[in-house]
Amino acid sequence: MLTKRELKLLEKVTQIDAIPGIEHELAKFVKEELKKYGFTPVTDNLGSIFGVKKSKEKKAPRIMVAGHLDEVGFMVRDITEMGFIRVDARGGITPNTLLSSRVRLTLDDGTKVIGSVGATAPHYGGESDLKIENLDFDFGFISKEDALSNGVRVGQMIVVDGPFEVLNGGKRLLAKAFDNRYGVFMALEMARYFANIELPFDLYVGATVQEEVGLRGAKTISAVINPDLAIVLDCSPARDNISKSEEGHLGGGILIRYLDRSMIAFPELLTFQEECAEAVNVPYQYFSSPGGTDAGAFHLHATGVLALTHCICARSLHTSATVVDTSDIKNAKKVLIRMLKTLNRDKINKFKKARR
């Protein structure tokens, strides 16, 4: 079971809206939290936010623990004469998850406007051939002029509302954006845990921008931090609701993500991750994904960077009703703490030399 404090933080980070390119509201919250724990903010021109706690050791290696700030969502593309908003998706969203959902638009001054995604009444035969571009986002505006005079502009952010709920006495959680507020939460938990612990490396924790549209923020923040090792926190799509025999079970422990579209994992780092899980009695499961994570960008930075994913799985990923297992979150935290407590210059050098 997670503590009240942990649940409160998860609620806070899932309920802030941040789509690719419009992450500043969440970035601001993360920055303030990092400062609370004595971490010095590090950022770049795209807006990724990290905090660093420097080691007392000279020329210490740099370890980066990274979630991503953005969630999938929409941008205002057009306003119809009837006052409906038409959108473009930011990130992978299937249209059949959207009809009659409640949505939230953020105006330039930060005001939130509530609306719905229009659906055809059953009386008129329901829907066929759904396309996100054709959906009517209805915020109650009676005309185009009405929408414009209320401050609606092309490019503004819309997300599907997905309130935070504790399910089954705390065994599971439901909310929007666990991909990747799991990572944001975990990064902040590491800042909190290691705030007063001396480490043999510079610890960078935080989150990137624009992961969902192609690992863009990861590329630019790597140039600032230049890590020796990057540990990427993310939520991967569970498969236990598709087939019992497949990889990715809720409650099955951390994912040993050996392969995805963006990176072939470093076997020596996977072994290290497994050893750390075993040392703290945490279950793990092998996982491959047709998607990618920021590790795909980090490991290709400069002359190549050691990168490891530290993921859990979630059901209904990229919808407003994502379900995660709290024991997975707890276990992922235990293993991550163990890994960070075990890592040092010699270990990192050994991992690097395994490839040479």
Q: Which residues make up the interface to Zn ion (CB under 5 A)?
A: 179-180, 234
- In one letter, which amino acid is 292? G
Between residues 179 and 247, which has the closer beta carbon with respect to Zn ion?
179
Tell me the closest approach of the beta carbon of residue 180 to Zn ion, in angstroms.
4
Angle at 19 between CA 205 and CA 66, to 5 degrees: 15
What is the residue-wise DSSP string for 163-189?
Answer: --EEEGGGTEEEES-HHHHHHHHHHHH
Tell me the closest approach of the beta carbon of residue 331 to Zn ion, in angstroms.
19
Determine which one of 189, 211, 212, 247 is catalytic.
211
Tell me which residue has its CB nearest to Zn ion.
180
Could you give the residue ranges of the DSSP H alpha helices within the chain?
4-15, 24-36, 144-149, 178-194, 216-225, 267-279, 295-298, 326-342, 345-353
Tell me the closest approach of the beta carbon of residue 261 to Zn ion, in angstroms.
13
Between residues 234 and 247, which has the closer beta carbon with respect to Zn ion?
234
* Cβ within 8 Å of residue 329, ≥6 positions away: 2, 6, 10, 182, 185, 186, 312
> What are the CA-CA distances from residue 328 to residues 102, 157, 216, 244, 285 (Å)?
29, 31, 28, 18, 11
* Radius of gyration for the alpha carbons in the chain, expressed in angstroms and rounded: 21
Residue with tokens 């920055």: 31
Active site residue 81: no
DSSP conformational letter for 39 = P
Active site residues per annotation: 211
